Amino acid sequence: MRPVSFQRDFISHPAGSCLACFGDTKVICTASIGTDLPPFLKGQGRGWVTAEYAMLPGSTGGGRKKREIGARDGRSTEIQRLIGRSLRAGVDTQALGEIVITLDCDVLQADGGTRTAAISGAWVALYDALRRHGGPDLLRALRGQIAAVSVGIVDDTVICDLDYAHDSRAQVDMNVVMRDHDLVEVQGTGEQGVFNRHQLDALLDAAETGIALIQDAQRQAMS
């Protein structure tokens, strides 16, 4: 694992904010609370959790990344849907009442694992938003602690929390999201071939160990 840290209240205006750092990857996550529910939820007494993701200009090497205005590119759309699904797995939307929590995850600096850093940091921002908006009553809407990590096989070795150098030459690349000790989502692919059940088990074991460390860092930040 690279060094992992979470800095709460990185921005003062949102209901919750957190700077998540996984090594040299840095993602600012903010949580905003509103009442503009999606049409399919109006009048049902339930809330919603959604997310947006973007990489800021200057966040990557190789020249300026164009700012995304209007429609997101395919990668950003896929990642923000993953973030939204992951955080909704940690919330009882019925207990939220008719509010919408939007988690904005903006990559300040990318060195691999931006989506897993975004998910883990967004959970801290979400926690603070619920605590400040509704106190203990609204915190009961949380169903568990959400964290995520990337794992892969590089040079036939299992690596947890891949940086760009590892990710760019990984034989197998996987992202794992967990709620407490249970799996929320597993995204894995053989980038340069195939992998077997034994390797899959080793990757999941590494992810479980890494996520436990990330959850410890989240709790330390919130203590």
Q: What is the mean pLDDT of residues 22-37?
A: 95
pLDDT, average across residues 86-93: 96
Q: Please tell me the predicted confidence (pLDDT) of residue 116.
A: 98
- Look at 202 and 71; give whichever has higher pLDDT: 202
pLDDT band at 70; cut points 50, 70, 90: low
CATH number for the domain spanning 159: value is: 3.30.230.70
DSSP, res 213: H
Residue 41: pLDDT over 90: no
pLDDT value, residue 77 = 92
The parent domain of residue 103 ranges over: 4-222
Q: pTM for this one? A: 0.93
Q: What is the pLDDT of residues 170-194, one digit of tens each?
A: 999 999 999 999 999 999 999 888 9
Mean pLDDT over the full length of the chain: 92
Q: Which two tokens stand for residue 22?
A: 């996984």
Task: Kindly state the average pLDDT of the residues 14-24.
Answer: 96
CA atoms within 13 A on the CB side of 7: 9
Taking only the tens place, the pLDDT of each residue in 102-159 is 999 999 999 999 999 999 999 999 999 999 887 777 888 999 999 999 999 999 999 9
pLDDT of residue 69: 67
Q: DSSP letter for 23, please.
A: T
Residues 6, 217 contacting (CB under 8 angstroms): yes
CA dist., res. 206 & res. 210, Å (int): 6
Predicted pLDDT at 57: 82
The answer to whether residues 94 and 146 touch, using CB atoms and an 8 Å cutoff, is no
Whether 73 shows a pLDDT value over 80: the answer reads no
- pLDDT of the residue at 215: 98
Q: Where does the pLDDT of residue 90 fall: very low under 50, low under 70, confident under 90, or very high at 90 and above?
A: very high
- Percent of residues, the chain, with pLDDT higher than 90: 77
Q: How many domains does the chain have?
A: 1
Provide the pLDDT for residue 28.
98
The secondary structure of residue 91, as a DSSP letter, is: B
Q: Which pLDDT does position 61 carry in this prediction?
A: 72
Contact 96, 47 (CB under 8 A): yes
